């Protein structure tokens, strides 16, 4: 990837990360206050923030508020079985990304990656540092590493396939490290998981950008209405952050629940999608 683009993306993420952490402290901040804490003039901060987020700092702060998740459930919750029929896909960045995916065969899954070559690399994305893994058939893992660190994220993804051979290959992985910052295009996913996990991830792919669902709703959609806790576990095991949108799954109470790659990233993803799909 272009070095200047990488540096700019990293700067924007660090700015957003610091702002999110500060806004999470609870008290509403004026533009002047948050800009001063970020070390920028109000105009510079507003311009940079709005260019990255697609909305003003004040509006974004509303999306990050504790009540936003509850409002999403009240106003923008989707019924998975009817989402496509209702035309809820919208034109947002992530949902417009055409994803072609296939699940690893049961036999290959059982072999835990034996005979499989998995290439990997690290880089920067619009929501911070990333680790990507891919097989010859497509993207197999995408982790946000700001909270976990690269080593822990690598061990997490690689540990699912202990018999595979892992090869660092920045050139081969460069396109995959840019998928979250792509307006339109195509990305092949090669998903590795058990049958129940696959069903959960398929359900997540039917949740449109800017909308949310609950673990219980996913459980009903896949025909296991009493399995919301198992659904939560499967959501947490999603290996492809962002593209398989586990960040759109919330608790029925409106709470954010957990997020495997850190709640700051989940909040940023939801706020970004809300900003891009707001009327």
* Pairwise CA distance, residues 275 & 279, whole Å: 9
How much of the chain is in helix, strand and coil states, percent to nearest 5?
A: 50, 15, 35
* Pairwise CA distance, residues 17 & 11, whole Å: 10
129 token code pair: 């540092």
* Pairwise CA distance, residues 226 & 94, whole Å: 30
Q: Is 171 exposed, middle or buried (0-12, 13-18, 19+ CB in 10 A)?
A: exposed
34 with 22: CB under 8 angstroms? Answer: yes
Q: Any catalytic annotation for residue 246? A: yes
119 token code pair: 């290439």
* Pairwise CA distance, residues 21 & 34, whole Å: 11
- Active-site residue (options: 221, 222, 246, 270): 246
Residue 16 DSSP SS3? helix
| CA 91 to mean position of chain CA atoms | 17
Question: Which of 195, 241, 220 lies closest to 77, judged by CA?
Answer: 220
46 with 56: CB under 8 angstroms? Answer: yes
Beta bridge partners of 168: 120
Report the catalytic residues.
246
């Amino acid at each position: 990837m272009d070095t200047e683009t990488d540096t700019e993306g990293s700067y924007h993420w660090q700015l957003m990360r610091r702002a999110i952490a500060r806004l999470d402290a609870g008290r509403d901040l004026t533009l002047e206050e948050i800009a001063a804490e970020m070390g920028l003039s109000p105009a510079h901060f507003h311009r940079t923030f709005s260019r990255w987020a697609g909305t003003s700092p004040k509006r974004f702060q509303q999306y990050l508020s504790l009540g936003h998740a509850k409002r999403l459930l009240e106003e923008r919750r989707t019924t998975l079985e009817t989402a496509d029929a209702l035309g809820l896909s919208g034109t947002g960045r992530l949902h417009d990304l055409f994803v072609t995916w296939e699940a690893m065969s049961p036999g290959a899954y059982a072999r835990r990656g034996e005979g499989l070559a998995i290439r990997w690399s690290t880089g920067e994305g619009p929501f911070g540092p990333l680790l990507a893994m891919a097989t010859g058939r497509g993207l197999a893992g995408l982790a946000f590493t700001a909270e976990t660190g690269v080593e822990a994220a690598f061990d997490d993804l690689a540990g699912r396939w202990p018999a595979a051979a892992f090869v660092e290959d920045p050139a081969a992985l460069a396109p995959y490290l840019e998928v979250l910052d792509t307006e339109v295009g195509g990305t092949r996913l090669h998903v590795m998981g058990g049958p129940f996990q696959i069903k959960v991830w398929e359900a997540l792919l039917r949740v449109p950008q800017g909308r949310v669902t609950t673990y219980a709703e996913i459980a009903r959609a896949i025909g296991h209405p009493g399995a919301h806790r198992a659904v939560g576990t499967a959501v947490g095991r999603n290996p492809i952050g962002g593209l398989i949108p586990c960040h759109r799954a919330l608790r029925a109470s409106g709470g954010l629940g957990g997020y495997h790659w850190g709640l700051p990233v989940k909040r940023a993803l939801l706020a970004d999608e809300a900003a891009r799909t707001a009327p």
